[in-house]
Chain A
Amino acid sequence: MLKFPIYLDNNATTPMDPRVLEAMLPYFTNHFGNAASRNHPFGWAAEEAVDYAREQIAALINCNPKELIFTSGATESDNLAIKGVFEMYASKGNHIITATTEHKAVLDTCKHIEKLGGQVTYLQVNSEGLINLEELEAAITDKTILISIMYGNNEVGVIQPIKEIGRIAKKHGVLFFTDGTQAVGKIPVDVEADGIDLMAFSGHKMYGPKGVGALYVRRKNPRVKVTAQMDGGGHERGMRSGTLNVPGIVGLGKAAEICRTDMESDTARIKAMRDRLENELLQIEESYLNGSKEHRLPHVSNISFKYVEGEGLMMGVKDIAVSSGSACTSASLEPSYVLKALGLNDDLAHSSLRFGLSRFTTEEEVDFAISHVKEAVAKLRELSPLWEMFKEGIDLNTVEWTEH
């Protein structure tokens, strides 16, 4: 039995795995201790649980458990990494390299750095959404302290050449930070093999709870330090003060463990469903896949249905929950900056839907989504003057549109 609406917006957030909830529950009630209380069993139980979670997470990304700093989520981790490195390495330089398709948590933090007197280079991406490694290397100066390039993109799912970026960073003695929010738990991420020095990720994108995340900070080759962005009790090796969110951390740990043990089978199944959904939808006339087909997360598909407006389309597919690159609801009327960075015209960016699958997505749900979207696109094209003009062979670029 299908339950409506069907959730296909798993890049926004994932449902929590019931196994994660089960692991967390005792830490709200019986084991409520403060992990920093060193002098009684309540504190010891909490600390033990946090240490265990550290090991579970470390195993997922191949780091040392001591290299993990718990935070409130990826946005905080992004801020801590970029601002923390900027402050800590101020004597070495003030230049940061990032890309135009990064998440706002990175881009807006970089803007903040610019206000503080830092220099930021924003690399362009190609039509597939990938950065150019030669441009990256050419952008490095003797003032460059950090390269901040995301692992997998949240809108189109494009995976950047992380290993190569890591190699370039190491060669020039520059730190490499990656926002791994969409990738960790979905594809194999190995901070050693990938040459990552700092990495942000979040619980609620990998079937864990909201309000908890982590920042991986390398301790050896090189030993990386970040300046704390919050003052207080000196938790997390002085890099992030604040009483640890023990239930959340336990949940993040359990979520990481499940992702590690189930990744192979989950990914194969999810990817097969994603590919089927995508192939079916791309059979619709004038529909286009956004972002690299090859270098992409296995659970995301971003498709533009030309001559149909995304927000109108979302209303037409009310039985599935997806998101659109159209931003008609925002005051700016600007469509997705990520899709525009890929070189999409505004009209195609306005016409996009993002589908995000999860380990809980079923074949029946995918079947329904395919027919639901096909019907909605057909219905809206019947309503679309642009579709009619296209069918009459009118080149829309020659039409004189009224500005508004």
Chain B
Amino acid sequence: MAYSDKVIDHYSNPRNVGTLDKSKANVGTGLVGAPECGDVMRLQIEVDENQVITDAKFKTFGCGSAIASSSLATEWLKGKTVDEALSIDNMEIVEELALPPVKIHCSVLAEDAIKAAINDYRVKNGLEPLVEAKSHH
């Protein structure tokens, strides 16, 4: 299967790889997927007092499309408010990266990772957790 140029670019030069201090109150961490399914994403956001995401980092175990999806997600997250970040839809990732149908689950996982990170941040700061992240099988 041939990968799109954008997937190859993100895979070859992943943006925002790394780790934020998860013990900090303004850092939200989302860890989604499972090793036995062949992909695990960890996505972290750092949020300032104005609810703006000032930094985002990821690490992903998975195929090229999974790595690209999470790399792209961190790019999109930076500078957005938490509420804006919640509106990122997996199909936008599919379109941007031109993912084929068999790789759509990679984009779903990235969306789940965003929601999980935001949830973690909310819970840490005494807010209600969001209702169920978009589920997939």
Contact = CB atoms under 8 A, between A and B. Distances in A.
Q: Is the interface of B mostly helix, strand, loop or mixed?
A: mixed
A246 to B, nearest CB: 36
B104 to A, nearest CB: 11
A93 to B, nearest CB: 40
A326 B35 contact: no
A384 interface: yes
A377 B65 CA distance: 17
A316 B61 CA distance: 13
Interface stretch (B26-34, B73-81, B82-90, B123-131): B26-34
Given A315-B11, A315-B64, A329-B1, A404 B36 contact: no
Contacts of A383: 14, 17, 59-61, 67
A402 B35 CA distance: 10
B19 interface: yes
Contact of A404 (B37, B42, B64): B37
B32 A402 contact: yes
B41 interface: yes
A403 B40 CA distance: 11
B34 A402 contact: yes
A309 B38 contact: yes
Contact of B63 (A312, A346, A401, A402): A312
Contacts of B34: 401-404
Given A311-B38, A312-B64, A385 B59 contact: yes
A330 B38 contact: no
B137 interface: yes
A309 B39 contact: yes
A396 interface: yes
A141 interface: no
Contact of B42 (A331, A345, A385): A385
Nearest to B3: A315
A335 interface: yes
Interface string A295-330: 000000000000111111001100000000010111
A350 interface: yes
Contacts of B109: 404
B24 interface: no
Chain A CB within 10 A, most for which of B32, B38, B116: B38
B36 A384 contact: no
B62 A312 contact: yes
A388 interface: yes
B63 A385 contact: no
A404 B40 contact: no
A387 B59 CA distance: 10
A401 B35 contact: yes
Interface in B1-49: 1, 3, 11, 14, 17, 19, 31-42
B53 interface: no
B19 A388 contact: yes
A88 to B, nearest CB: 42
Contacts of B1: 329
B32 to A, nearest CB: 5
A386 interface: yes
B46 to A, nearest CB: 17
A336 to B, nearest CB: 11
Contacts of B38: 309-311, 326, 328, 333, 335, 346-347, 350
Closest 3 CB pairs of A and B: A346-B36, A401-B34, A347-B35
Given A309-B38, A333-B38, A385-B60, 6 more contacts: A315-B11, A328-B38, A345-B36, A350-B38, A384-B60, A404-B32
